[in-house]
Structure 1
């Protein structure tokens, strides 16, 4: 335990409050932790990943067990990727790239006249850690931003720098819709055929959250017609079947779930979790702890 305390740099003046406790560190792909490993001596589970949903057996959750993940650290690259998609969507990047490849007239006034980020209306669904970070990044741009999130107050949304709207109003209002909600029963399929049809012609849909938030057949139909554009880092199913038209469409940009931390960004998550471990050892608590009831909402 002394070596671990030294390794994570307990700061001068801090006295470790947990010197006789065990800690579990897990990462992506760990699977469900066997219940027998969650002994009374285990004070905290620290997950170098995003969601902790399903990581612990139901009977293993204890009031005194601290559970924390690196989801806020993982939210940074996801939000950055979503921002890149917002800019690409505003620039009609997929349409220009497709026309360049096929030899079509990419300087067509019909394409150019609708391109550009200035004055765009950005709709964010879900003020999660990722949604909040995207919102903060978007404050630097000359755009209007509205948020739908039924789990927080309109005052909190306004304080974060956006205008609150209900979902259907947001969809009718926005030029670019970016999804950052969890996959729970009430959100699955929330962006259905009717709501996609309510988006204005030429609008873009960005999904870096969960694939099942969107009706796949409906978005494929809208993109096939050329009426909507889509930037999809997650899909339902994932991966898409080989015969799916989505990756081949001029109006669609599909990537294989790459928005989250990988490569260099993994170091941010590791640093975050080691800091959380230091905090738990030194103080016995952390403001980033996840409760049993929160695990699905933060998935």
Structure 2
């Protein structure tokens, strides 16, 4: 596990990116590579129009297959590839069609789905918008932490079923958000943004991250904890670690059993970090609660108990950027293209070395 889930420098406050104030007169030849659905969403939000201010691109050209003959002329001239969700892998064969390519600017988070060793071998610079995508994930996390403490799902369900106000004080014994313990797993960019958002509240924040030292923990205003200790002490555990071989089933049956009765597990990272079968067992017993924006598999089977359990909030991977928030990602990418056009290094570069241990 690593302290960062992206390759930009660690900061406790992720930048709020806007369209670049300094725009070079040079507009590098740029091609959009992503799924059709993603491209349509960017156009709907007006993001492509803003990209035209810094990049020489054909707004109606969207490459979904690097072997498509119709895309060949544009790819042959491309200096920058602006990628997003659904971009095909940049294999050596694909790159032969892009002899002038010097940079890949990803207007989303992880680049693991399309950046291959061939990209590094050719010395192509890579940037990611992980910093921008961390913001809505952290906001979602803060919201569900606060709602979990107030037992909003349970309260709404009981109110809907009984249509009367039940005795509040006995029911809420042990609940509420005052002086509760929140355990943050992973001092990643998202994890650090969550920590920042939690500061105004009366929480004790524990953090587990093997790369976090005491000095940095003190700067963040948190307490370091081993993962088992964090699980035992936390009223809410929120996961912000990368998906790596060593983090698979980080929360397995043994560790899930350490969570206190009534605790809530929040996962906005990757479904593989939690043993789904073991989690379902715990949830079916009613002992703990869960907020799951990601699962393994990505879409649970139609007969999965997760859809119907009253102690589960299951959402379809919405914590990250969507709707109008895609504009933030595009503005982040535009700022990076502007830096590239002016001969400056990316503000949020991705390197091969760091990618091997990040999301």
Report the Cα distance in structure 2 between the residues aligned to 1:288 and 1:106, rounded to whole angstroms. 51
Q: Choose which of 227, 234, 237 in structure 2 pairs with 1:177.
A: 237
Q: Choose which of 178, 200, 206 in structure 1 pairs with 2:260.
A: 200
Cα distance, 1:40 vs structure 2: 5.7
Stretches of 4+ aligned residues off by more than 6 angstroms: none
TM-score (ref. length: structure 1): 0.90
Q: Choose which of 140, 143, 147 in structure 1 pairs with 2:203.
A: 143
Does residue 1:7 correspond to 2:49, yes or no? no
Q: Which residue of 2 aligns with 1:237?
A: 297
Gaps of 5+ in 2: 1-23, 29-51, 56-76
Cα distance, 1:251 vs structure 2: 1.0
Cα distance, 1:63 vs structure 2: 7.5
- Indicate if the aligned counterparts of 2:267 and 2:293 stay in contact, CA closer than 8 A: yes
Structure with greater contact order relative to length (CA < 8 Å, sep ≥ 6): 2
Which digits, 9 at most, give the CA deviation of each residue in 1:134-177, with x for residues without a partner? 11100111111011111332322221221111111111111100
- Indicate if the aligned counterparts of 2:127 and 2:350 stay in contact, CA closer than 8 A: yes
Q: Which residue of 2 aligns with 1:13?
A: none
Which is further off, 106-115 or 84-93? 106-115
Does residue 1:29 correspond to 2:86, yes or no? yes
Q: Choose which of 232, 243, 246 in structure 1 pairs with 2:306.
A: 246
Which digits, 9 at most, give the CA deviation of each residue in 1:62-91, with x for residues without a partner? 474221111110000000001111011101
Report the Cα distance in structure 2 between the residues aligned to 1:156 and 1:286, rounded to whole angstroms. 25
Distance 1:97 1:7, change over 3 A: same
Q: Which residue of 2 aligns with 1:60?
A: 119
Distance 1:283 1:82, change over 3 A: same
1:94-133 to structure 2, matched below 5 A, reads 94-103=153-162, 107-108=166-167, 109-133=169-193
- Indicate if the aligned counterparts of 1:182 and 1:296 stay in contact, CA closer than 8 A: no
Report the Cα distance in structure 1 between the residues aligned to 2:165 and 2:308, rounded to whole angstroms. 18
Does residue 1:267 correspond to 2:317, yes or no? no
1:158-177 to structure 2, matched below 5 A, reads 158-177=218-237
- Indicate if the aligned counterparts of 2:80 and 2:104 stay in contact, CA closer than 8 A: yes
What is the number of equivalent residue pairs in this alignment? 289
Which is further off, 165-174 or 153-162? 153-162
Cα distance, 1:29 vs structure 2: 0.9
Please, what is the CA RMSD of the aligned residues?
Answer: 2.2
Cα distance, 1:21 vs structure 2: 8.3
- Indicate if the aligned counterparts of 2:91 and 2:118 stay in contact, CA closer than 8 A: no
Report the Cα distance in structure 1 between the residues aligned to 2:274 and 2:249, rounded to whole angstroms. 5
Distance 1:142 1:63, change over 3 A: farther
Cα distance, 1:253 vs structure 2: 0.7
Cα distance, 1:279 vs structure 2: 1.4
TM-score (ref. length: structure 2): 0.75
